[in-house]
Structure 1
Amino acid sequence: MIKNKQVISEKILHIFVDTLYLSDNEQLREKSFQLLDTANDNQDISDEIFDILELERAALNISSRSVDSDYAIAYLQTKTKEGKKLTINGFIEINKQIDKLFLLVEKSLKVLYNVSINGQIIPNELVDKLVKKFDPVQKQYYLIKIFESLVKNNQNIPNELSLKLEKALEYKNMCDQVLFIFVLQGQKGENLSPMIISKILDKFSSIDNSLIMQQYLTVICSVIKKVDCFEYDSKNSSSKTHSQVFDISLIDRVQSALIHALETGNQDIICKSISGFSKLTSLGTVKLKDKSIEV
Protein backbone atom coordinates (compact mmCIF):
# COMPACT_ATOMS: atom_id res chain seq x y z
CA MET A 1 0.00 0.00 0.00
CA ILE A 2 2.70 2.49 1.00
CA LYS A 3 4.84 1.64 -2.01
CA ASN A 4 1.81 2.18 -4.22
CA LYS A 5 1.55 5.69 -2.76
CA GLN A 6 -1.73 5.03 -1.02
CA VAL A 7 -2.49 7.24 1.97
CA ILE A 8 -2.00 5.34 5.23
CA SER A 9 -3.93 6.12 8.40
CA GLU A 10 -2.19 7.53 11.47
CA LYS A 11 -3.20 4.41 13.40
CA ILE A 12 -1.22 2.15 11.07
CA LEU A 13 1.74 4.54 10.98
CA HIS A 14 1.82 4.43 14.79
CA ILE A 15 2.26 0.65 14.59
CA PHE A 16 5.51 1.25 12.69
CA VAL A 17 6.49 3.92 15.21
CA ASP A 18 5.91 1.50 18.09
CA THR A 19 8.23 -0.96 16.38
CA LEU A 20 11.06 1.59 16.54
CA TYR A 21 10.62 1.81 20.32
CA LEU A 22 9.62 -1.71 21.28
CA SER A 23 10.93 -4.33 18.86
CA ASP A 24 14.15 -6.26 19.51
CA ASN A 25 14.17 -7.30 15.85
CA GLU A 26 16.69 -5.13 14.01
CA GLN A 27 15.35 -6.00 10.57
CA LEU A 28 11.80 -5.19 11.63
CA ARG A 29 12.92 -1.80 12.93
CA GLU A 30 14.77 -1.12 9.68
CA LYS A 31 11.71 -2.06 7.62
CA SER A 32 9.45 0.13 9.77
CA PHE A 33 11.76 3.09 9.28
CA GLN A 34 11.78 2.59 5.51
CA LEU A 35 7.98 2.39 5.40
CA LEU A 36 7.62 5.54 7.51
CA ASP A 37 10.14 7.33 5.32
CA THR A 38 8.21 6.35 2.20
CA ALA A 39 4.93 7.40 3.79
CA ASN A 40 6.48 10.78 4.55
CA ASP A 41 7.27 11.19 0.84
CA ASN A 42 3.76 10.17 -0.19
CA GLN A 43 1.60 12.09 2.27
CA ASP A 44 1.48 14.62 5.06
CA ILE A 45 2.26 12.88 8.33
CA SER A 46 1.74 14.32 11.80
CA ASP A 47 4.48 16.35 13.48
CA GLU A 48 4.71 13.68 16.17
CA ILE A 49 5.46 10.89 13.70
CA PHE A 50 7.77 13.12 11.66
CA ASP A 51 9.84 13.93 14.76
CA ILE A 52 10.21 10.23 15.59
CA LEU A 53 11.16 9.49 11.98
CA GLU A 54 13.91 12.12 12.17
CA LEU A 55 15.10 10.82 15.54
CA GLU A 56 15.51 7.39 13.97
CA ARG A 57 17.24 8.90 10.94
CA ALA A 58 19.70 10.67 13.23
CA ALA A 59 20.45 7.40 15.03
CA LEU A 60 21.10 5.67 11.71
CA ASN A 61 23.38 8.52 10.63
CA ILE A 62 25.47 7.95 13.75
CA SER A 63 25.62 4.27 12.86
CA SER A 64 26.79 5.01 9.32
CA ARG A 65 29.81 6.92 10.66
CA SER A 66 29.22 9.55 8.01
CA VAL A 67 30.28 13.18 8.26
CA ASP A 68 26.77 13.80 9.50
CA SER A 69 27.28 11.75 12.67
CA ASP A 70 28.33 14.76 14.78
CA TYR A 71 25.30 16.67 13.55
CA ALA A 72 23.14 13.65 14.29
CA ILE A 73 24.27 13.54 17.93
CA ALA A 74 23.70 17.29 18.20
CA TYR A 75 20.22 16.77 16.76
CA LEU A 76 19.45 14.07 19.33
CA GLN A 77 20.69 16.39 22.06
CA THR A 78 18.39 19.19 20.89
CA LYS A 79 15.34 16.99 20.50
CA THR A 80 15.75 15.13 23.79
CA LYS A 81 16.13 18.50 25.50
CA GLU A 82 12.70 19.30 24.05
CA GLY A 83 11.34 16.14 25.69
CA LYS A 84 11.53 13.69 22.78
CA LYS A 85 12.32 10.04 23.53
CA LEU A 86 15.13 8.01 22.01
CA THR A 87 14.31 4.98 19.89
CA ILE A 88 15.99 1.62 20.48
CA ASN A 89 18.50 2.39 17.74
CA GLY A 90 19.15 5.73 19.39
CA PHE A 91 20.20 3.99 22.60
CA ILE A 92 22.25 1.43 20.68
CA GLU A 93 24.25 4.11 18.89
CA ILE A 94 24.73 6.27 21.98
CA ASN A 95 25.98 3.14 23.74
CA LYS A 96 28.66 2.78 21.08
CA GLN A 97 29.72 6.42 21.47
CA ILE A 98 30.44 6.01 25.19
CA ASP A 99 33.67 4.15 24.38
CA LYS A 100 34.98 6.82 22.02
CA LEU A 101 36.88 10.10 22.34
CA PHE A 102 36.09 12.51 25.18
CA LEU A 103 34.16 15.05 23.08
CA LEU A 104 31.90 12.37 21.62
CA VAL A 105 31.36 10.88 25.07
CA GLU A 106 30.49 14.29 26.51
CA LYS A 107 27.91 14.91 23.76
CA SER A 108 26.44 11.45 24.26
CA LEU A 109 26.18 11.96 28.02
CA LYS A 110 24.26 15.18 27.42
CA VAL A 111 21.78 13.20 25.33
CA LEU A 112 21.41 10.60 28.09
CA TYR A 113 21.06 13.34 30.70
CA ASN A 114 18.14 14.80 28.74
CA VAL A 115 16.65 11.35 28.28
CA SER A 116 16.86 10.59 31.99
CA ILE A 117 15.27 13.83 33.17
CA ASN A 118 12.49 13.18 30.64
CA GLY A 119 11.75 10.05 32.66
CA GLN A 120 12.74 7.60 29.92
CA ILE A 121 14.27 4.36 31.19
CA ILE A 122 17.90 3.84 30.20
CA PRO A 123 18.65 0.21 29.23
CA ASN A 124 20.50 -1.77 31.91
CA GLU A 125 23.36 -2.60 29.55
CA LEU A 126 23.97 1.09 29.01
CA VAL A 127 23.67 1.83 32.75
CA ASP A 128 26.35 -0.78 33.44
CA LYS A 129 28.64 0.89 30.92
CA LEU A 130 28.08 4.29 32.53
CA VAL A 131 28.91 2.81 35.93
CA LYS A 132 32.17 1.43 34.53
CA LYS A 133 32.90 4.86 33.08
CA PHE A 134 32.34 6.63 36.40
CA ASP A 135 35.50 7.47 38.31
CA PRO A 136 34.65 8.52 41.89
CA VAL A 137 37.86 10.56 42.07
CA GLN A 138 36.90 12.80 39.14
CA LYS A 139 34.00 15.22 39.01
CA GLN A 140 31.77 13.97 36.18
CA TYR A 141 28.75 16.25 36.27
CA TYR A 142 26.56 14.59 33.66
CA LEU A 143 27.21 11.07 34.90
CA ILE A 144 26.21 12.01 38.44
CA LYS A 145 23.07 13.79 37.21
CA ILE A 146 22.17 10.72 35.17
CA PHE A 147 22.62 8.52 38.25
CA GLU A 148 20.40 10.91 40.19
CA SER A 149 17.70 10.53 37.55
CA LEU A 150 18.01 6.73 37.70
CA VAL A 151 16.87 6.90 41.31
CA LYS A 152 14.08 9.34 40.49
CA ASN A 153 12.93 7.03 37.68
CA ASN A 154 12.94 4.02 40.03
CA GLN A 155 15.65 2.20 38.10
CA ASN A 156 17.78 -0.32 39.93
CA ILE A 157 21.12 1.01 41.15
CA PRO A 158 23.92 -1.54 40.65
CA ASN A 159 25.89 -2.36 43.78
CA GLU A 160 29.08 -1.29 42.01
CA LEU A 161 27.61 2.19 41.55
CA SER A 162 26.60 2.43 45.21
CA LEU A 163 30.15 1.62 46.26
CA LYS A 164 31.60 4.16 43.84
CA LEU A 165 29.19 6.85 45.02
CA GLU A 166 30.17 6.20 48.64
CA LYS A 167 33.80 6.61 47.59
CA ALA A 168 32.94 9.89 45.84
CA LEU A 169 31.59 11.27 49.14
CA GLU A 170 35.19 11.57 50.28
CA TYR A 171 35.78 14.42 47.83
CA LYS A 172 34.40 17.86 48.68
CA ASN A 173 33.86 18.90 45.06
CA MET A 174 31.35 16.06 44.60
CA CYS A 175 30.06 15.35 48.08
CA ASP A 176 26.87 17.45 48.02
CA GLN A 177 25.82 16.31 44.55
CA VAL A 178 26.43 12.64 45.35
CA LEU A 179 24.89 12.84 48.82
CA PHE A 180 21.63 14.04 47.28
CA ILE A 181 21.43 10.75 45.37
CA PHE A 182 21.46 8.91 48.69
CA VAL A 183 18.83 11.33 50.02
CA LEU A 184 16.59 10.37 47.11
CA GLN A 185 17.17 6.69 47.86
CA GLY A 186 16.31 7.27 51.51
CA GLN A 187 13.09 9.03 50.51
CA LYS A 188 12.12 5.92 48.60
CA GLY A 189 12.60 3.79 51.70
CA GLU A 190 15.95 2.23 50.85
CA ASN A 191 18.24 1.37 53.75
CA LEU A 192 21.20 3.70 54.13
CA SER A 193 24.41 2.88 55.95
CA PRO A 194 25.29 4.63 59.23
CA MET A 195 28.04 6.49 57.38
CA ILE A 196 25.58 7.90 54.82
CA ILE A 197 23.09 8.85 57.54
CA SER A 198 25.88 10.58 59.42
CA LYS A 199 26.81 12.64 56.35
CA ILE A 200 23.16 13.54 55.79
CA LEU A 201 22.98 14.79 59.38
CA ASP A 202 26.23 16.74 58.89
CA LYS A 203 24.85 18.46 55.80
CA PHE A 204 21.37 19.13 57.21
CA SER A 205 22.44 21.88 59.61
CA SER A 206 23.98 23.94 56.79
CA ILE A 207 21.05 23.83 54.34
CA ASP A 208 19.26 27.12 53.70
CA ASN A 209 16.83 26.02 50.98
CA SER A 210 13.58 24.97 52.68
CA LEU A 211 12.59 22.52 49.93
CA ILE A 212 15.92 20.71 50.09
CA MET A 213 15.75 20.79 53.89
CA GLN A 214 12.37 19.02 53.73
CA GLN A 215 13.85 16.31 51.52
CA TYR A 216 16.69 15.72 53.96
CA LEU A 217 14.30 15.79 56.92
CA THR A 218 12.09 13.18 55.28
CA VAL A 219 15.06 10.82 55.20
CA ILE A 220 16.00 11.60 58.80
CA CYS A 221 12.44 10.88 59.93
CA SER A 222 12.31 7.70 57.84
CA VAL A 223 15.25 6.41 59.85
CA ILE A 224 13.22 6.95 63.02
CA LYS A 225 10.20 5.17 61.56
CA LYS A 226 12.23 2.00 61.27
CA VAL A 227 11.82 1.22 64.93
CA ASP A 228 14.39 -1.56 64.88
CA CYS A 229 17.00 1.07 63.99
CA PHE A 230 16.77 2.28 67.55
CA GLU A 231 16.49 -0.91 69.55
CA TYR A 232 18.79 0.10 72.33
CA ASP A 233 20.84 -2.62 73.99
CA SER A 234 21.82 -1.35 77.44
CA LYS A 235 24.53 -3.96 77.73
CA ASN A 236 26.65 -2.83 74.82
CA SER A 237 25.31 0.72 74.36
CA SER A 238 24.59 0.26 70.69
CA SER A 239 21.65 0.35 68.32
CA LYS A 240 21.16 -2.43 65.82
CA THR A 241 19.50 -2.43 62.45
CA HIS A 242 19.71 -4.82 59.53
CA SER A 243 22.91 -6.39 60.86
CA GLN A 244 24.54 -2.95 61.11
CA VAL A 245 25.51 -1.18 64.31
CA PHE A 246 24.42 2.40 64.98
CA ASP A 247 26.33 4.28 67.64
CA ILE A 248 23.92 5.73 70.20
CA SER A 249 25.39 9.18 69.50
CA LEU A 250 23.72 9.01 66.08
CA ILE A 251 20.35 9.05 67.82
CA ASP A 252 21.42 12.17 69.70
CA ARG A 253 22.39 13.78 66.40
CA VAL A 254 18.98 12.93 64.96
CA GLN A 255 17.43 14.78 67.88
CA SER A 256 19.73 17.74 67.28
CA ALA A 257 18.64 17.81 63.64
CA LEU A 258 14.98 17.80 64.66
CA ILE A 259 15.61 20.67 67.09
CA HIS A 260 17.35 22.62 64.32
CA ALA A 261 14.33 22.01 62.10
CA LEU A 262 11.99 23.38 64.78
CA GLU A 263 14.01 26.59 64.89
CA THR A 264 13.67 27.32 61.15
CA GLY A 265 10.25 28.93 61.43
CA ASN A 266 9.01 27.06 58.35
CA GLN A 267 5.67 25.44 59.17
CA ASP A 268 6.12 22.43 56.87
CA ILE A 269 9.55 21.72 58.31
CA ILE A 270 8.30 22.21 61.87
CA CYS A 271 5.46 19.74 61.27
CA LYS A 272 7.91 17.14 59.97
CA SER A 273 10.15 17.71 62.97
CA ILE A 274 7.28 17.31 65.43
CA SER A 275 6.33 14.09 63.67
CA GLY A 276 9.91 12.91 64.12
CA PHE A 277 9.84 13.67 67.83
CA SER A 278 6.54 11.81 68.15
CA LYS A 279 8.17 8.75 66.66
CA LEU A 280 11.13 9.08 69.00
CA THR A 281 8.97 9.36 72.10
CA SER A 282 7.02 6.28 71.04
CA LEU A 283 10.23 4.29 71.37
CA GLY A 284 10.49 3.65 75.08
CA THR A 285 14.16 2.74 74.85
CA VAL A 286 15.17 6.15 73.48
CA LYS A 287 15.83 8.92 75.99
CA LEU A 288 15.17 12.45 74.76
CA LYS A 289 17.84 15.07 75.29
CA ASP A 290 17.05 17.86 77.75
CA LYS A 291 16.91 20.44 74.97
CA SER A 292 14.45 18.25 73.06
CA ILE A 293 12.14 18.19 76.07
CA GLU A 294 12.43 21.98 76.51
CA VAL A 295 11.51 22.58 72.87
Structure 2
Amino acid sequence: MEFLKSMAGMEYVGFSNATFQSERETGDRNYAIGYYLKEKRCFPDNADMTAALDFYFQLCSIEVTCESGSVMAATLANGGICPITGERVLSAEAVRNTLSLMHSCGMYDFSGQFAFHVGLPAKSGISGAVLLVVPNVMGMMCWSPPLDRLGNSVRGIHFCQELVSHFNFHNYDNLRHFTKKHDPRRRSDDDLNKSVVNLMFAAYSGDLSSLRRFALSAVNMEQRDYDSRTALHIAAAEGHVEAVIFLTEICKVNPHMKDRWGNTPLDDAMQFGHDVVVSVLQEYQCVYNDSDPPGDTEEQKPTLDTLKSIV
Protein backbone atom coordinates (compact mmCIF):
# COMPACT_ATOMS: atom_id res chain seq x y z
CA MET A 1 0.00 0.00 0.00
CA GLU A 2 2.81 2.40 0.83
CA PHE A 3 4.48 1.60 -2.50
CA LEU A 4 1.27 2.27 -4.41
CA LYS A 5 0.75 5.51 -2.50
CA SER A 6 4.22 6.67 -3.47
CA MET A 7 3.42 5.78 -7.07
CA ALA A 8 0.22 7.85 -6.78
CA GLY A 9 2.04 10.83 -5.29
CA MET A 10 0.37 10.23 -1.92
CA GLU A 11 -3.07 10.63 -3.49
CA TYR A 12 -5.90 8.34 -2.31
CA VAL A 13 -5.21 4.60 -2.22
CA GLY A 14 -7.60 2.48 -0.15
CA PHE A 15 -8.63 -1.12 0.49
CA SER A 16 -12.09 -2.68 0.21
CA ASN A 17 -12.43 -5.61 2.61
CA ALA A 18 -15.89 -6.40 1.23
CA THR A 19 -14.42 -6.81 -2.25
CA PHE A 20 -11.66 -9.01 -0.84
CA GLN A 21 -14.13 -11.33 0.90
CA SER A 22 -16.28 -11.50 -2.24
CA GLU A 23 -13.28 -12.35 -4.45
CA ARG A 24 -12.18 -14.97 -1.95
CA GLU A 25 -15.58 -16.68 -1.87
CA THR A 26 -16.33 -16.57 -5.61
CA GLY A 27 -12.88 -17.03 -7.15
CA ASP A 28 -13.42 -20.65 -8.15
CA ARG A 29 -11.66 -20.26 -11.49
CA ASN A 30 -8.61 -18.75 -9.79
CA TYR A 31 -8.49 -21.66 -7.34
CA ALA A 32 -8.82 -24.11 -10.26
CA ILE A 33 -5.96 -22.41 -12.10
CA GLY A 34 -3.91 -22.43 -8.91
CA TYR A 35 -4.36 -26.17 -8.35
CA TYR A 36 -3.59 -26.84 -12.01
CA LEU A 37 -0.35 -24.86 -11.75
CA LYS A 38 0.47 -26.68 -8.52
CA GLU A 39 -0.07 -30.04 -10.24
CA LYS A 40 2.35 -28.96 -13.00
CA ARG A 41 4.89 -27.94 -10.34
CA CYS A 42 4.88 -24.29 -11.40
CA PHE A 43 5.19 -23.00 -7.82
CA PRO A 44 8.56 -22.83 -6.03
CA ASP A 45 9.25 -25.41 -3.35
CA ASN A 46 7.50 -24.83 -0.01
CA ALA A 47 5.25 -22.18 -1.62
CA ASP A 48 1.78 -21.76 -0.07
CA MET A 49 -0.67 -21.57 -2.96
CA THR A 50 -3.58 -20.48 -0.75
CA ALA A 51 -1.53 -17.64 0.73
CA ALA A 52 -0.51 -16.56 -2.78
CA LEU A 53 -4.16 -16.51 -3.87
CA ASP A 54 -5.12 -14.54 -0.75
CA PHE A 55 -2.47 -11.96 -1.60
CA TYR A 56 -3.73 -11.84 -5.19
CA PHE A 57 -7.32 -11.29 -3.99
CA GLN A 58 -6.10 -8.49 -1.73
CA LEU A 59 -4.34 -6.83 -4.67
CA CYS A 60 -7.62 -7.05 -6.60
CA SER A 61 -9.36 -5.18 -3.76
CA ILE A 62 -7.19 -2.05 -3.69
CA GLU A 63 -9.15 1.12 -4.45
CA VAL A 64 -8.06 4.25 -6.27
CA THR A 65 -9.82 7.32 -7.61
CA CYS A 66 -9.53 8.75 -11.11
CA GLU A 67 -7.16 11.36 -9.68
CA SER A 68 -4.81 8.92 -7.93
CA GLY A 69 -5.00 6.45 -10.82
CA SER A 70 -4.03 9.16 -13.28
CA VAL A 71 -0.95 9.98 -11.19
CA MET A 72 0.01 6.28 -11.28
CA ALA A 73 -0.36 6.34 -15.05
CA ALA A 74 1.68 9.54 -15.22
CA THR A 75 4.42 7.88 -13.16
CA LEU A 76 4.62 5.15 -15.78
CA ALA A 77 4.59 7.76 -18.55
CA ASN A 78 7.40 9.62 -16.77
CA GLY A 79 9.78 6.66 -16.72
CA GLY A 80 9.03 5.63 -13.13
CA ILE A 81 9.43 9.08 -11.53
CA CYS A 82 6.27 10.41 -9.88
CA PRO A 83 5.69 13.78 -11.58
CA ILE A 84 4.22 15.54 -8.55
CA THR A 85 6.80 14.46 -5.95
CA GLY A 86 9.91 13.88 -8.07
CA GLU A 87 10.51 10.53 -6.36
CA ARG A 88 11.75 7.58 -8.41
CA VAL A 89 9.29 4.79 -7.68
CA LEU A 90 10.02 2.33 -10.50
CA SER A 91 13.16 1.48 -12.41
CA ALA A 92 13.28 2.17 -16.14
CA GLU A 93 13.36 -1.58 -16.81
CA ALA A 94 10.27 -2.17 -14.65
CA VAL A 95 8.40 0.59 -16.51
CA ARG A 96 9.35 -0.92 -19.87
CA ASN A 97 8.17 -4.37 -18.79
CA THR A 98 4.94 -3.03 -17.29
CA LEU A 99 4.05 -0.99 -20.38
CA SER A 100 4.84 -3.97 -22.61
CA LEU A 101 2.41 -6.14 -20.62
CA MET A 102 -0.24 -3.42 -20.65
CA HIS A 103 0.13 -3.04 -24.41
CA SER A 104 -0.14 -6.78 -25.09
CA CYS A 105 -2.74 -7.96 -22.57
CA GLY A 106 -3.99 -5.06 -20.46
CA MET A 107 -7.48 -4.99 -22.01
CA TYR A 108 -8.40 -8.67 -21.56
CA ASP A 109 -9.43 -10.39 -24.82
CA PHE A 110 -9.81 -6.98 -26.48
CA SER A 111 -6.08 -6.25 -26.14
CA GLY A 112 -5.22 -7.07 -29.75
CA GLN A 113 -7.91 -4.83 -31.20
CA PHE A 114 -7.07 -2.08 -28.70
CA ALA A 115 -3.39 -2.23 -29.69
CA PHE A 116 -4.44 -1.99 -33.34
CA HIS A 117 -6.92 0.89 -33.04
CA VAL A 118 -5.47 2.86 -30.11
CA GLY A 119 -1.83 1.78 -30.07
CA LEU A 120 -1.15 2.78 -26.44
CA PRO A 121 -0.51 0.74 -23.26
CA ALA A 122 -3.63 0.56 -21.12
CA LYS A 123 -5.14 -1.45 -18.25
CA SER A 124 -8.82 -2.16 -17.83
CA GLY A 125 -10.66 -3.11 -14.67
CA ILE A 126 -14.05 -4.72 -14.17
CA SER A 127 -15.06 -1.67 -12.12
CA GLY A 128 -15.30 0.23 -15.42
CA ALA A 129 -11.93 1.95 -15.13
CA VAL A 130 -9.41 2.33 -17.95
CA LEU A 131 -5.88 3.47 -17.14
CA LEU A 132 -4.08 4.83 -20.21
CA VAL A 133 -0.41 5.78 -20.63
CA VAL A 134 1.02 8.03 -23.33
CA PRO A 135 4.78 7.44 -22.81
CA ASN A 136 6.81 10.60 -22.18
CA VAL A 137 3.64 12.71 -22.38
CA MET A 138 0.96 11.94 -19.79
CA GLY A 139 -1.14 9.37 -17.99
CA MET A 140 -4.88 9.32 -17.43
CA MET A 141 -7.67 7.26 -15.94
CA CYS A 142 -11.31 7.33 -16.95
CA TRP A 143 -14.19 5.55 -15.22
CA SER A 144 -17.55 4.53 -16.63
CA PRO A 145 -19.15 1.36 -15.17
CA PRO A 146 -21.19 0.01 -18.14
CA LEU A 147 -19.11 -2.89 -19.50
CA ASP A 148 -19.07 -4.77 -22.78
CA ARG A 149 -19.13 -8.58 -22.99
CA LEU A 150 -15.32 -8.70 -22.50
CA GLY A 151 -15.44 -6.74 -19.23
CA ASN A 152 -14.14 -3.42 -20.57
CA SER A 153 -15.73 0.01 -20.12
CA VAL A 154 -17.72 0.86 -23.26
CA ARG A 155 -17.28 4.60 -22.91
CA GLY A 156 -13.69 4.21 -21.71
CA ILE A 157 -12.69 2.45 -24.92
CA HIS A 158 -14.64 4.97 -27.00
CA PHE A 159 -12.81 7.82 -25.26
CA CYS A 160 -9.41 6.25 -26.01
CA GLN A 161 -10.34 5.79 -29.66
CA GLU A 162 -11.51 9.39 -29.93
CA LEU A 163 -8.31 10.58 -28.26
CA VAL A 164 -6.00 8.96 -30.82
CA SER A 165 -8.28 9.99 -33.69
CA HIS A 166 -7.63 13.63 -32.77
CA PHE A 167 -4.09 13.52 -31.36
CA ASN A 168 -0.97 11.98 -32.84
CA PHE A 169 -0.56 9.49 -29.95
CA HIS A 170 -0.93 6.10 -31.67
CA ASN A 171 2.29 4.13 -31.52
CA TYR A 172 2.64 4.29 -35.32
CA ASP A 173 1.21 7.74 -36.02
CA ASN A 174 4.73 9.13 -36.27
CA LEU A 175 5.29 7.55 -39.69
CA ARG A 176 6.16 10.20 -42.26
CA HIS A 177 3.25 11.47 -44.39
CA PHE A 178 0.88 9.14 -42.55
CA THR A 179 -1.34 11.52 -40.66
CA LYS A 180 -2.27 15.14 -40.19
CA LYS A 181 -3.43 14.77 -36.60
CA HIS A 182 -2.59 17.32 -33.94
CA ASP A 183 0.65 16.58 -32.07
CA PRO A 184 0.86 18.55 -28.79
CA ARG A 185 4.44 17.30 -28.29
CA ARG A 186 5.70 19.54 -31.08
CA ARG A 187 6.53 23.06 -30.02
CA SER A 188 5.85 25.92 -32.39
CA ASP A 189 7.75 29.19 -32.53
CA ASP A 190 5.02 31.11 -30.72
CA ASP A 191 4.82 28.72 -27.75
CA LEU A 192 7.00 31.03 -25.65
CA ASN A 193 4.72 33.99 -26.37
CA LYS A 194 1.66 31.94 -25.47
CA SER A 195 3.34 30.85 -22.25
CA VAL A 196 3.95 34.47 -21.24
CA VAL A 197 0.37 35.49 -22.07
CA ASN A 198 -1.13 32.54 -20.17
CA LEU A 199 1.07 33.17 -17.13
CA MET A 200 0.21 36.87 -17.03
CA PHE A 201 -3.50 36.22 -17.47
CA ALA A 202 -3.46 33.70 -14.61
CA ALA A 203 -1.77 36.29 -12.39
CA TYR A 204 -4.24 38.99 -13.51
CA SER A 205 -7.24 36.83 -12.60
CA GLY A 206 -5.66 35.39 -9.45
CA ASP A 207 -6.02 31.85 -10.84
CA LEU A 208 -3.96 29.93 -8.28
CA SER A 209 -4.64 26.54 -9.90
CA SER A 210 -3.18 27.68 -13.22
CA LEU A 211 -0.17 29.24 -11.52
CA ARG A 212 0.47 25.99 -9.67
CA ARG A 213 0.14 24.03 -12.92
CA PHE A 214 2.63 26.32 -14.68
CA ALA A 215 5.12 25.95 -11.84
CA LEU A 216 4.79 22.14 -11.86
CA SER A 217 5.38 22.23 -15.63
CA ALA A 218 8.76 23.92 -15.07
CA VAL A 219 7.58 27.23 -16.58
CA ASN A 220 9.93 30.10 -15.77
CA MET A 221 7.80 32.08 -13.32
CA GLU A 222 10.07 35.13 -13.70
CA GLN A 223 9.52 35.60 -17.44
CA ARG A 224 8.41 39.11 -18.49
CA ASP A 225 5.88 40.56 -20.90
CA TYR A 226 6.52 43.35 -23.43
CA ASP A 227 6.48 45.91 -20.62
CA SER A 228 9.07 43.87 -18.65
CA ARG A 229 6.42 43.07 -16.04
CA THR A 230 6.47 39.75 -14.24
CA ALA A 231 3.52 37.73 -12.97
CA LEU A 232 4.33 39.13 -9.53
CA HIS A 233 3.87 42.68 -10.88
CA ILE A 234 0.45 41.76 -12.24
CA ALA A 235 -0.75 39.91 -9.13
CA ALA A 236 0.47 42.73 -6.88
CA ALA A 237 -1.22 45.41 -8.98
CA GLU A 238 -4.51 43.49 -8.91
CA GLY A 239 -4.31 42.81 -5.18
CA HIS A 240 -4.45 39.00 -5.38
CA VAL A 241 -2.92 38.12 -2.02
CA GLU A 242 -2.89 34.33 -2.44
CA ALA A 243 -1.26 34.59 -5.87
CA VAL A 244 1.39 36.93 -4.47
CA ILE A 245 2.10 34.55 -1.58
CA PHE A 246 2.40 31.62 -4.00
CA LEU A 247 4.75 33.49 -6.35
CA THR A 248 6.95 34.63 -3.48
CA GLU A 249 7.00 31.90 -0.85
CA ILE A 250 6.74 28.91 -3.21
CA CYS A 251 8.14 30.07 -6.57
CA LYS A 252 10.75 32.43 -5.05
CA VAL A 253 10.20 35.09 -7.73
CA ASN A 254 12.67 37.99 -7.54
CA PRO A 255 10.76 40.92 -5.95
CA HIS A 256 13.29 43.51 -7.15
CA MET A 257 12.70 43.10 -10.90
CA LYS A 258 11.62 46.39 -12.50
CA ASP A 259 9.27 46.99 -15.41
CA ARG A 260 9.87 49.46 -18.24
CA TRP A 261 8.83 52.34 -15.97
CA GLY A 262 11.21 51.31 -13.20
CA ASN A 263 8.53 49.98 -10.85
CA THR A 264 8.86 46.87 -8.70
CA PRO A 265 5.88 44.69 -7.64
CA LEU A 266 5.93 46.51 -4.29
CA ASP A 267 5.62 49.86 -6.09
CA ASP A 268 2.55 48.59 -7.98
CA ALA A 269 0.91 47.31 -4.80
CA MET A 270 1.49 50.65 -3.07
CA GLN A 271 0.23 52.62 -6.07
CA PHE A 272 -3.10 50.77 -6.13
CA GLY A 273 -3.51 50.73 -2.34
CA HIS A 274 -3.34 47.00 -1.67
CA ASP A 275 -2.06 47.19 1.90
CA VAL A 276 -2.03 43.45 2.61
CA VAL A 277 0.00 42.77 -0.53
CA VAL A 278 2.37 45.59 0.44
CA SER A 279 3.06 44.01 3.83
CA VAL A 280 3.58 40.56 2.23
CA LEU A 281 6.05 41.94 -0.30
CA GLN A 282 7.93 44.02 2.27
CA GLU A 283 8.40 40.98 4.50
CA TYR A 284 9.40 38.85 1.51
CA GLN A 285 11.96 41.39 0.32
CA CYS A 286 13.75 41.17 3.66
CA VAL A 287 13.84 37.37 3.50
CA TYR A 288 14.86 37.43 -0.16
CA ASN A 289 17.75 39.81 0.50
CA ASP A 290 19.03 37.64 3.35
CA SER A 291 18.97 34.49 1.21
CA ASP A 292 21.42 35.92 -1.37
CA PRO A 293 19.32 35.01 -4.44
CA PRO A 294 20.67 34.45 -7.96
CA GLY A 295 20.71 37.25 -10.50
CA ASP A 296 17.79 38.24 -12.70
CA THR A 297 19.27 36.57 -15.76
CA GLU A 298 19.63 33.10 -14.24
CA GLU A 299 16.85 30.79 -15.35
CA GLN A 300 14.58 29.58 -12.56
CA LYS A 301 15.01 25.88 -11.84
CA PRO A 302 12.45 24.30 -9.50
CA THR A 303 13.99 21.95 -6.94
CA LEU A 304 12.39 18.90 -5.40
CA ASP A 305 11.55 20.90 -2.25
CA THR A 306 9.87 23.56 -4.38
CA LEU A 307 7.80 20.96 -6.22
CA LYS A 308 6.70 19.40 -2.94
CA SER A 309 5.69 22.84 -1.66
CA ILE A 310 3.64 23.46 -4.80
CA VAL A 311 1.86 20.12 -4.43
Same fold (TM > 0.5): no
- Give the TM-score of the pair, scaled to structure 2: 0.34
Please identify which structure carries the higher helix content.
Answer: 1
- Give the TM-score of the pair, scaled to structure 1: 0.35
